[in-house]
Structure 1
Amino acid sequence: MITITNPVIPGMAPDPSIIRVEDAYYIATSTFHWNPGIQIYKSTDLANWELISSVLHKDEVNLRGTNTPAGVWAPHLSYDARSNKFWLAFSHMVNMAGREFNSDSYAMWTENINGPWSEPIYITSIGFDPAIFHDEDGKHYVSILEWETRQGYQAPGHIVIAEVDLQNRGIMGSWHRVTQGFTSRGCAEAPQIYKHNGYYYLILAAGGTGYAHGVEIGRATSIFGPYEPHPSGEPIITSSPRHLFSLGDPDAGHFEMYNPHSFMQKAGHGSLIQTQTGEWYIAHLMSRPIEGTLYNPLGRETSIQKMKWTKDGWLEMEDGSNLAKMEVEGMKGVKESTRLSHDVRDDFNSDQYHIRFMTPYRNQHTGWVNTTERPGFLRIHGENSFFSQVNPALMATRATSFHYQFQTKVEFHPDHYSETAGMGLYYDSNNWIYVHLTHSESTGGTVMNILQAKLGERMEVLHNPVPVPEGVAELQLIYRSGLADLSYRLTDTADWQLLAEHMDVIYLSDEGVNGEPGEIGGFTGLFNFIGSVDSHQHDSFADFDYYSVENY
């Protein structure tokens, strides 16, 4: 029998939306300020998930200038069997200042999960986290959080539902306010509608994005309600089962809800499916803090729990509890697929670089990065500083483990101190470390140094930069539970030379960065990256021979 080991998608893969079409399963996840936007994963056994495509990769959404943690939020996948179309709804959070949360929501469709997708169809700006429900009678509905900004009103607002005409692209009639949540945890969001045995079930995320997160549920005989809360009055899935009253709190980390008896934390934001074998599962987000801390560098990851329906028609976890588990019983009678490695290796010997590469605040596919100008290498043309939220030139992959080795080999010939190229760790534009080659005016040659950004402050780490006379260096970063060792060598046969040992980089985590005021920090995740900067003439480039991340 298959055992599902959580997280099934490690590293930044939050807000999972799961569907089944015949015997295949698909999950869409949030990508925030990263492109290509909205990643799609596929599985045949629920235990092993392969990244197969992305949806937003042609500047459909402009992410330049996106502040942490805004951007592309909470994609919702659905499948309309009548038209044989996949639908995707998502929010583009464009402003969080003043807790106004200005967000535009869209829908897209395709007849093939790998695309091409339609152009985004505007739905609303009433709030965020839209989901589309295709009813049995052919009608379609959108559910979403209506964001509340008025003083004296319960935040974050109401869950609202409206009928939508997908063909003519418009909301039909008015929005119906149906609930502000089904428990006392508050912060109800991410509403998703399901139908089972004559009831409409509304599944919500609750308790905020932190340690009080959970999945809650209500039901009604009419899609517009009234909705009856689950009789327990508590979330049906959470990492912290003890009671919490936090109504009116629009969002919070709720560090007091950390559960010392659970390896999994922050379980919440669920999406339901029935398998071809008649079983029920929920995909949901989770986090894993570094042991002995409340820091979650890998961000919010995707997990799966097995569910069942009670004789009274309520959904609950298979074991009858509401505590999310790290291991779950898999589907019966389904063969396990090949276990996938989360290591990354690309020698850049083809026209396409690895599907896992992403870039922040800009489009990936505009010529600034390619494997064609110099076959066998990834060429990155330098652009703005990594502090910039407009066109930084870096390529990154999600960190998926607390222990790993990251290596690359770079060739770079700068002629100005504002030209750099190298590799490092990246959370957002205010928080990263970067070991790089650059030009030294004092020596007239190329040298190596380390630059660090912490909460927006710029720091040069080495007082004595290392000469790199040929402009070629192999770089290595070893990450161990929030500490980083940085090394280099100038020839393939030389021993590795230590540049910096035990650098404290634990702040490169959801709780350690400086997100928008009022937020706990961020809720994205740590990335490994290679990149280049040219704040001089925008005429330099760096060539990378390979990219390797090996998890321990």
Structure 2
Amino acid sequence: MTMKGIREMTMINNPVIPGMAPDPSIIRVDDEYYIATSTFHWNPGIQIFKSTDLANWELIDFVLKEGEVNLRGTYTPAGIWAPHLSYDASTKKYWLAYSHMTNMAGREFNADSYAIWADNINGPWSEPLYLTSIGFDPAIFHDEDGRHYISILEWETRKGYQAPGHIVIAEFDLDKGKMMGTWQRVTQGFTSRGCAEAPQIYKHNGYYYLIIAAGGTGYAHGVEIGRSTDIFGPYEPHPSKEPIITSSPRHLFSLGDPDAGHFEMYNPTSKMQKAGHGSLVQTHTGEWYIAHLMSRPLEGTLLNPLGRETSIQKMKWSQDGWLEMEDGSNLAKMEVKGMEGVQLSSPASHDVHDHFDDATYSVQFMTPYRNQEAGWVNTMERPGYLRIYGENSLFSQVNPALMATRATSFHYEFQTRVQFAPDHYSETAGMGLYYDSNNWLYAHLTYSELSHGTVLNVLQAKLGNRNELLQETIPVPENVIDLKLIYNSGIAEIFYRLEPDGPWQVLANTIDAAYLSDEGVNGQPGEIGGFTGLFNFIGSVDAHQHDSYADFDFYTVKND
């Protein structure tokens, strides 16, 4: 075998999960690996990915899919935050702790945190067990003596106190569902970057190690670590007094800043940005890795349309018992060594192809704000098609009728075929790009009172403003059309054809869609507007009588 062949088998390319897959929490059970990630205002809640080689990950399920949470009215970027996945080897139970961020106004950040458990990673999961409302980002640690501990950020709101607050730890009786004792404040961070959050506890060679995210959700993000012989501390910071993983290694003093974009920390020499919020795992081969979030901005910009993605870094323990990256640096890498002796599986495809020939549609489909229910979306009423009943406008945070999948590449082609017979201008159906209720692009069929028939138009929402992009609509006399959207580094082009084998016609070209990104939506100066990511979608609107529906023949996304 050539050296090139050996390299291809043993190197992992980041991101391992492209598109919206932030705040990864990784565990191993035997020789299988699982990652849970945040989902914010999207349902079903909490993505679960599976891998056998750490390089290729498959979305296998969602956790919150039975109406456990109500996300209607959720503002970007609230919703389901930072799930923490753990496995209690003594009971063989999977545990998930998560926060439901319900309010971010006034920087009050009201979040209720819960824990659920299951005997199988695919569920069924228990009823949610309430933990606390002290802050957000809870994590469960199962100690060797059978005791359980919750770590979380205690959110600070008082004037004159260091934001965003303290990392706190308490013992919990998970069987009885109650806290043992009180919250113990243990640290406000291990470096000068501040914004300590997402605390996770690990035990190794007699020490408790506390891994936290720091530096905010922007370009100063990083992974910090401290250790103690007692779970409640005091915790000794890493000797470097710097993050052990980051995309921007230069020193930053940002204590007291509750969160910020820190655009000044952009690293022009790195393809990877925002590396932080890590979760540690020991492999079945005895090696150590951290899964962490990252972003990739569009070239020449600070805009990240794919949101925060999941990456992997190989780690080691130093002679004096500190965790560090394998090469001894703290700069996150786009390529890392795979597990020793583990051959990588075939590269995972992130394309989406669903012709709706089965009773269920692809697990990859998500819906903003509301649950997916057969009353408004199903493959049963017309076999071979996905039927979507129109409801609220796409500006709605209550009942938009959308089915969407995560964008995972800067270059892709998205197609669908829709059949739709509207009889009012407030009835529409089509496809497009979506970030949240205030920011989207929508090519759709609707009814024209001028021509007394179905026409094709393009509507855009940008920072909550509505804009019709076409000066003249396109007649669609047979009520069926093929639509195609090509996304190329923030530029969108939309095409249509009235015959399945006919030539594609340009509907709209060179549309600037770069604003559909974390930094392009409704943010305050110096902060990130969102941290979710771009989606492709099909959907329908009926702000008339709620009696119309659209039938979609297929849905395909092909990445270049």
TM range, normalised to the smaller chain? Answer: over 0.9
Distance (Å, rounded) in 2 between the aligned partners of 1:493 and 1:12 = 34
Q: 1:234 aligns with which of 230, 239, 242?
A: 242
Q: 1:270 aligns with which of 271, 278, 285?
A: 278
Verify the 8 A CA contact 1:16 1:30 in the aligned structure 2: yes
Verify the 8 A CA contact 1:266 1:286 in the aligned structure 2: yes
1:403-430 CA distance string (max 9 Å, x none):
0000000000000000000000000000
Instruction: Check if 1:306 corresponds to 2:321.
Output: no
Q: Secondary structure at the match of 1:87?
A: strand
Match of 2:36 in 1: 28
Q: 1:293 aligns with which of 294, 301, 306?
A: 301
Distance (Å, rounded) in 2 between the aligned partners of 1:387 and 1:519 = 23
Match of 2:181 in 1: 173
Instruction: Check if 1:498 corresponds to 2:506.
Output: yes
Residue identity matched to 1:4: I
Give 1:516 deviation, angstroms: 7.5
Alignment of 1:517-532 (within 5 A): 519-532=527-540
Distance (Å, rounded) in 2 between the aligned partners of 1:176 and 1:531 = 48
Q: 2:169 aligns with which of 156, 161, 174?
A: 161
Residue identity matched to 2:472: N
Residue identity matched to 1:54: F
Verify the 8 A CA contact 1:239 1:323 in the aligned structure 2: yes
Distance (Å, rounded) in 1 between the aligned partners of 2:17 and 2:443 = 28
Alignment of 1:289-368 (within 5 A): 289-368=297-376
Q: Secondary structure at the match of 1:323?
A: coil
Match of 2:190 in 1: 182
Alignment of 1:114-193 (within 5 A): 114-193=122-201
Match of 1:261 in 2: 269
My pick for the range that moved more, 358-367 or 390-399, is 358-367
Q: Secondary structure at the match of 1:425?
A: strand
User: Residues 211 and 95 of structure 1: is their aligned pair in 2 closer, same or farther, counting only changes over 3 Å?
Assistant: same
Verify the 8 A CA contact 1:67 1:515 in the aligned structure 2: no
1:381-419 CA distance string (max 9 Å, x none):
000000000010000000000000000000000000000
Verify the 8 A CA contact 2:262 2:527 in the aligned structure 1: no
Q: 1:279 aligns with which of 287, 291, 295?
A: 287
Verify the 8 A CA contact 1:140 1:166 in the aligned structure 2: yes
Match of 2:99 in 1: 91
Distance (Å, rounded) in 1 between the aligned partners of 2:523 and 2:200 = 27
Alignment of 1:395-474 (within 5 A): 395-474=403-482
Distance (Å, rounded) in 2 between the aligned partners of 1:516 and 1:420 = 33
Distance (Å, rounded) in 2 between the aligned partners of 1:379 and 1:511 = 34
Q: 1:64 aligns with which of 61, 72, 82?
A: 72
Verify the 8 A CA contact 1:412 1:541 in the aligned structure 2: yes
1:452-481 CA distance string (max 9 Å, x none):
000000001111000000100000000000
Match of 1:487 in 2: 495
Q: 1:48 aligns with which of 45, 53, 56?
A: 56
Q: Secondary structure at the match of 2:264?
A: helix
1:47-105 CA distance string (max 9 Å, x none):
00001111001110100000000000000000001111000000000000000000000
Verify the 8 A CA contact 1:191 1:205 in the aligned structure 2: yes
Q: 1:391 aligns with which of 399, 402, 426?
A: 399
Give 1:365 deviation, angstroms: 2.6
Verify the 8 A CA contact 1:126 1:147 in the aligned structure 2: yes
1:292-324 CA distance string (max 9 Å, x none):
110000000000000000000000000000000
My pick for the range that moved more, 427-436 or 331-340, is 331-340
Q: Secondary structure at the match of 1:433?
A: strand
Residue identity matched to 2:131: I
Residue identity matched to 1:167: D
Give 1:520 deviation, angstroms: 2.0
Match of 1:197 in 2: 205
Distance (Å, rounded) in 2 between the aligned partners of 1:6 and 1:517 = 30
Identity of aligned residues (%): 79
Verify the 8 A CA contact 1:67 1:516 in the aligned structure 2: no
Distance (Å, rounded) in 1 between the aligned partners of 2:523 and 2:382 = 38
Count of aligned positions: 552
Distance (Å, rounded) in 2 between the aligned partners of 1:133 and 1:190 = 13
Distance (Å, rounded) in 2 between the aligned partners of 1:13 and 1:276 = 24
Q: Secondary structure at the match of 2:540?
A: strand
1:309-359 CA distance string (max 9 Å, x none):
000000000000000000000000113223211000000000010110000
Match of 1:100 in 2: 108
Give 1:517 deviation, angstroms: 8.9
User: Residues 69 and 519 of structure 1: is their aligned pair in 2 closer, same or farther, counting only changes over 3 Å?
Assistant: farther
Give 1:449 deviation, angstroms: 0.3
Verify the 8 A CA contact 1:436 1:448 in the aligned structure 2: yes
Normalising by structure 1, we get a TM-score of 0.99
Residue identity matched to 1:310: S
Distance (Å, rounded) in 1 between the aligned partners of 2:473 and 2:129 = 52
Residue identity matched to 1:330: G
Distance (Å, rounded) in 2 between the aligned partners of 1:482 and 1:239 = 23
Residue identity matched to 1:121: L
Normalising by structure 2, we get a TM-score of 0.98
Q: Secondary structure at the match of 2:217?
A: coil
Distance (Å, rounded) in 2 between the aligned partners of 1:369 and 1:125 = 34
Distance (Å, rounded) in 2 between the aligned partners of 1:171 and 1:454 = 45
Q: Secondary structure at the match of 1:256?
A: helix
Distance (Å, rounded) in 2 between the aligned partners of 1:461 and 1:550 = 25
